[in-house]
Structure 1
Amino acid sequence: MFLQFWPYIDAYLQHYFHESIKPQLRILIPTDLKPFRVRHFDMGYIPCQIGKIKMHNKKDEDGRIVIDMDFIYEGNAKFDVNIRGFDAGANEITLKGKLRCFLTPLLSSTPPFFGGFAFSFMELPKFKFNLTGIGDFFEYPGLSKTIQSIADFQLANCCVFPNKFVIPLAPSNIDLTDLYFPEPDGMIRIKIIEAKNLPSKDALIRKNKSDPFCAVQVGAQMFKTKTIKNTLNPKFSECFEAIVNDGSCQTLQIEIFDEDKAGFDEELGHFSFPLNVVKEKGTIQQWSRLEGSKSGEIHYKIQWYEFSKNKELLGHQTWDSEWRRANNPIYSSLVMVYIDHIQGLPEETSKGVLPSSYIECSVGKRTQRSLVYENATDLELHTTFSFFIEKSESQILNLSAIDDGTQNLLGKLEIPLADVINEPKMELYQVKKYLRHESFKSSVVLTVRVRAFEPCQNSKADPWNINEKEEVTSVETASITETASVRQSNEETSSESSGNDGKTAEPGKTVNTEENNEAKLQLEAHRFNIGPKLPKTQKILDIIFQRNKHSKKKVYDTQNDAQLNFNLKLDSESSKLIVTIIKVKNITPIEKNNLVNPYVKIELFTKNSSKKSNKTAVIKNERNPCFDSSFEYKIDLNKIRKYKLHFTLKDATDYGILHKTPALGKGEISLDELNPHQILGDQWITLKTPGASN
């Protein structure tokens, strides 16, 4: 079926890309990577595959049909771009994950008998691709990993719970609010208590020490504890709150990292837990062994809460007392906002230009924003916002329409949450309000819900022994490691006396932080529908690129050259040259604090042939590193005298995303005197220090 439909799907995706995504790339791409132009995009001729389909038939699913399926794409899609004058691209794209599809609302007399369908990945799918072009451009420190992180980030924004693609099919007179804005399954509180017996990742510098922090993920919602320095037995005592769209299929993922300010954080172990077990038992508290670790364990507590429409439950309850003893605040209610559409936004009258606008939603000091909608005064948004809050009765929900180009206000609306709380079911359902600015008035149709929290009735003592096991799926999902660059930090503190109701832990939004706090990164997740545009993520990407960087010395020591120890072997039977890099000594750092993270790049070439290159692993903070790494090169024995080996000693220290990896020394040898089966052992070569500018 997909084979027949694929040319039409490809044509639609190309149209969708050029009409909806491409115009937003000017917002998405960081300034340091501009000018950025898309040269070509197509999905190729190999279709996706669907397998292991399962239909759910539950009594509580009378209003919809739920289908799970494995999704696999391993096609020949191509994506070609030009970055700062360099040609680049991606191919060998693979996407594997488990999809959940919803057909709702069910209609008794209107074909196709359901109003539309939505689909979402249960967890972040395995998304891989091969970067092409630009040559040495991809040797910039961490660029490939950063690009992978941005791709994962956008994928989570697009279609990982609670975000989804929605395709409406019903006539315009059918209410599809439940399709775009379903009530979540519930909410969980997660307490990361402590860990013990973690592996040491800093053994070369500090014996039996690490700087661990814990990353927590529920669908597209990501959280991070503070880093505990110099310990293998950290005590965190931090709490987070996450919305659960569907507890029957979602999992909680916990991963512990060793913080590395000079590079990328190293994983110390990971663990996942099915949320259907938490929903069934109410409360789980236990120690669990960390996968990927020989001895590490994590101590945590998870409690399931139902959403309640009883306003008597707003505010702090007795069951919150234990959670409030944690190191960061928790909240007593959730506000959910769904904006259906806006009509009649003002034009720029002096020029007659249609605005490219976005919607900003705020409660207290926290602000979230929608996608940017270009050149339109009537917007079909179908977008949602969520806020965990305190003292909901005294809070005001603010909505503003803002022109993205001029940042001019196009209209503003204030809704006291007390008005929502006093409504039946604590909900304003598809009401028509007005965004006002000067003499302009733009209509907006929206739904606002306030929900209190109530512990699941199953929440009882002794949840220590868990026998249930999560069903093993045939499709891979990505671990938190692969999205480490887009993990957000939840280290804000509350100050109720000053009117600040603290941090926000809602699913995936951009949050304005206090001036005295560090910049925090949180996923800017939105519900994607047919025809949306990518979110404005410039600020988020700036944070991704603003990692801790090191500075070079103003004056280099070019007098002391490093020495490289290697050996060679020529195997005539297999026509292979085997190069072994043994060690390097006497490296002179160029970093101002004398830090160096060396590796060796080896290139084999002839006068008329292209280079064949390899490189060793990076040895962190070592001036006399031992590599003991061997590499094989296929060669033409008849041209052995024309071959040359080029060695470059490089420093992997992060000097900034667009600072090329500096060379600390270079050397070259010819193979004109190497005979078959000959081994040149324990050879030394001087790596001449290059000029100061690199």
Structure 2
Amino acid sequence: MFRQFWPYIDAYLQHYFIEFIKPQLRTLIPKDLQPFRVKHFDMGDIPCQIGKLKMYNNKDDDTKIIIDMDFNYSGNAKFKVNIRGFDAGANEITLKGKLRCYLTPLISSDPPFFGGISFAFMELPKFKFNLTGIGDFFEYPGLSKTIQSIADLQLANCCVFPNKFVIPMAPSNIDLTDLYFPEPDGMIRIKIIEGKNLDTKDSLIRQSKSDPFCAVQVGAQMFKTKTDKHCLNPKFSECFEAVVDDGSCQRLQIEIFDEDKIGFDEDLGHISIPLNGVKDKGTIQDWAKLEGCKSGEIHYKLQWYQLSKNQELLGHQKWDSEWRRANNPIYSALVMVYIDRIEGLPDQTSKGVLPSPFIECSIGKRRQRSLTYENTTDPAVHTSFTFFLENSESQTLNLSAIDEGTQNLLGELEIPLSDVTNESEMELYQVKKYLTHESYKKSTIILTVRVRAFKPCEIDETDPWTFNEADERASVETASLEENVSLPKHSETASESSGDGGKTAEPGKTVRMENNESKLQLEAHRFNIGPKLPKTQKILDVLFQRNKHSKKKNYDNQNCAQLNFNLKLDSEASKIIVTIIKVK
């Protein structure tokens, strides 16, 4: 199907690139790479591939259909530019990621029985390319990394949660606000507390030291801690807040880097945390071992908040007290703005050339801007803005339409947020307002404004995954298993000499059973362990291939060695984590 569609998809993407992406490149390309001009762009004749489709049947929500799929493009796309008089380009372009599609709203009056399609990558996809052109030019310091960061930013702004790519399909009389502007699933508060035993990357300059900082990402939302100089056990204590569009599929990415003022920051490790677990449990605080490195752990805390329409919850609440002790400020409300369209902007040019407007949205000193809409006085904007705020009722929302070429103001509007919070649902839905201009008639703007307070999830005190806020580490029961082990003599001697005073590994989390038992019960089997540990596959065979041990054997547990360990299955990463706690 995609092979037959591909020429039409290519034509559409070329139009989209010229109309929306190309104007943004002028503002993103650094001045020392100007002038920058796009000469040619096409997607080639090799289509993308779609695989592993999964549909969700949500009986509680009959307004949309959800489909997940793997997206893979490894084609012969061509991209040619001129940078400072040099012809250059890119080929061998690959793009891989996991897409989530929504068919919504479902309607009964007209085929195809849904209003439109929206899709987004759950997290930033893997985008790679090969630069082509004059060899000496591409030795320009940092050029490849600059282009990569610009491409990642454009992808994030277009189609990574919370941003979506939307294709309307319904008749004009169908309200598609929920397609363009759905209510987020919730908000997550992130506290990066500290790290320990990090790898050293500056050993040639300073012995056993690094300059670590932490990068946090939820979809297209990216945050960065301050750098803790010359240490391997950094203390961050910084908080961040992120909107979560869909907690069932999104993940939190935490990466630690060694800052380098001259070259590139070096990776010190990373972890990926599925947010559906945070949503289910309310609060998680844990130490996690970093992946992709020799050593290192990160201590973090996560808390899930529902978005509430209750005006009484605006402002800081008692549950914010711990978070307010962090180095970063935290906020008490979320303001979301959706601009549907604008009609009748002024044409200020004497030759009748239409303006190329963009919309700037600001609250106080915080500003965000939309894409540029080329040569139009009636832009179909379909753009949303999100702000975290304190004291939202005393703030004012400011909207301005500005011509990209001349930077002339085409119209402006002020909306006190108290007008929004005084509404029963704390929302102005698809209201008609007017952008005022000194020498022109009023321009019409259709927009929706929402204010939401934060409310933490109900916490189950009996849940072994729930963490005590006063504790730096979790206190959870550990799963145990007694096994009859035949140990070599040197191992027995080492075990006896260590005694109970020896240090043990950090206990893992309990595997939760359907019958609410707190311990993982497994059938006992004989392990014959020599001086070397058995291969991983042998361990998995012993644990999960019960047909090799069909008869249950009883052992004298008083006279045999005992092994205490935890099992944790990470289905998303396709791995099983075994934590060895104690041997005696």
TM class, shorter-length: 0.7 to 0.9
| Inter-partner Cα distance in structure 1 for 2:128 and 2:93 | 6
Shift of 1:235: 0.6
Q: Is the 8 A contact 2:120 2:165 kept in 1?
A: yes
Shift of 1:146: 1.6
Partner of 1:31: 31
Paired letter, 2:212:
P
Paired letter, 1:472:
E
Could you tell me which runs of 5 or more consecutive residues in structure 1 were left unpaired when the two chains were aligned: 475-694
Q: Does 1:458 align with 2:459?
A: yes
Partner of 1:50: 50
1:412 to 1:395, Cα distance in 2 relative to 1, 3 A = same
Paired letter, 1:35:
P
Partner of 1:446: 447
Partner of 2:572: 472
Partner of 2:79: 79
Residue-by-residue CA offset, 1:349-407 (whole Å, 9 max, x unaligned): 54433221111111111111111112211110000111000111111111111122222
Q: Is the 8 A contact 1:283 1:303 kept in 2?
A: yes
Shift of 1:33: 2.0
1:406 to 1:85, Cα distance in 2 relative to 1, 3 A = closer
Three-state SS of the structure 2 residue aligned to 1:450 is strand
| Inter-partner Cα distance in structure 1 for 2:89 and 2:352 | 38
| Inter-partner Cα distance in structure 2 for 1:459 and 1:49 | 44
- Backbone CA RMSD of aligned residues: 1.6
1:25 to 1:285, Cα distance in 2 relative to 1, 3 A = closer
Q: Is the 8 A contact 2:258 2:266 kept in 1?
A: yes
1:262 to 1:2, Cα distance in 2 relative to 1, 3 A = same
| Inter-partner Cα distance in structure 2 for 1:263 and 1:431 | 51
Three-state SS of the structure 1 residue aligned to 2:195 is strand
| Inter-partner Cα distance in structure 2 for 1:324 and 1:16 | 44
| Inter-partner Cα distance in structure 1 for 2:402 and 2:93 | 37
| Inter-partner Cα distance in structure 1 for 2:120 and 2:128 | 18
Three-state SS of the structure 2 residue aligned to 1:153 is helix
Q: Does 1:327 align with 2:327?
A: yes
Paired letter, 2:434:
Y
Q: Is the 8 A contact 2:24 2:371 kept in 1?
A: no
Partner of 1:534: none
| Inter-partner Cα distance in structure 2 for 1:25 and 1:395 | 33
Say which structure, 1 or 2, has more relative contact order (CA 8 Å, 6+ apart): 1
Partner of 2:96: 96
1:17 to 1:362, Cα distance in 2 relative to 1, 3 A = closer
| Inter-partner Cα distance in structure 1 for 2:100 and 2:23 | 29
1:293 to 1:26, Cα distance in 2 relative to 1, 3 A = closer
| Inter-partner Cα distance in structure 2 for 1:275 and 1:24 | 32
Q: Is the 8 A contact 1:274 1:470 kept in 2?
A: no
Partner of 1:160: 160
| Inter-partner Cα distance in structure 1 for 2:192 and 2:13 | 42
Partner of 1:513: none
Partner of 1:270: 270
Q: Does 1:171 align with 2:271?
A: no
Q: Is the 8 A contact 1:283 1:459 kept in 2?
A: no
| Inter-partner Cα distance in structure 2 for 1:244 and 1:7 | 35
Q: Does 1:417 align with 2:517?
A: no
1:373 to 1:19, Cα distance in 2 relative to 1, 3 A = closer
Paired letter, 1:462:
F
| Inter-partner Cα distance in structure 2 for 1:128 and 1:347 | 42
TM-score, normalised on structure 2?
0.79
Three-state SS of the structure 2 residue aligned to 1:340 is strand
| Inter-partner Cα distance in structure 2 for 1:119 and 1:288 | 32
1:122 to 1:204, Cα distance in 2 relative to 1, 3 A = same
Partner of 2:122: 122
1:470 to 1:445, Cα distance in 2 relative to 1, 3 A = farther
Give 1:569-584 correspondences, 5 Å limit. none
Identity of aligned residues (%): 78
Q: Is the 8 A contact 2:23 2:372 kept in 1?
A: no
1:90 to 1:319, Cα distance in 2 relative to 1, 3 A = same
1:391 to 1:459, Cα distance in 2 relative to 1, 3 A = farther
Shift of 1:152: 1.1
Three-state SS of the structure 2 residue aligned to 1:138 is helix
Q: Is the 8 A contact 1:361 1:369 kept in 2?
A: yes
Paired letter, 1:40:
H
Residue-by-residue CA offset, 1:316-357 (whole Å, 9 max, x unaligned): 100000000001100000000000001111111544332211
State the aligned residue count. Answer: 474
| Inter-partner Cα distance in structure 2 for 1:224 and 1:283 | 22
Three-state SS of the structure 1 residue aligned to 2:105 is coil
Three-state SS of the structure 1 residue aligned to 2:276 is helix
Q: Is the 8 A contact 2:421 2:451 kept in 1?
A: yes
| Inter-partner Cα distance in structure 2 for 1:308 and 1:322 | 21
Q: Is the 8 A contact 2:336 2:449 kept in 1?
A: yes
Shift of 1:22: 3.6
Give 1:151-300 correspondences, 5 Å limit. 151-300=151-300
TM-score, normalised on structure 1?
0.67
Three-state SS of the structure 2 residue aligned to 1:205 is coil
| Inter-partner Cα distance in structure 2 for 1:72 and 1:425 | 41
Residue-by-residue CA offset, 1:295-318 (whole Å, 9 max, x unaligned): 200000000000000000000100
1:407 to 1:233, Cα distance in 2 relative to 1, 3 A = same
| Inter-partner Cα distance in structure 1 for 2:223 and 2:179 | 28
Three-state SS of the structure 2 residue aligned to 1:226 is coil
Partner of 2:360: 360
Partner of 2:107: 107
Q: Is the 8 A contact 2:20 2:372 kept in 1?
A: no
Three-state SS of the structure 1 residue aligned to 2:214 is strand
| Inter-partner Cα distance in structure 1 for 2:445 and 2:404 | 19
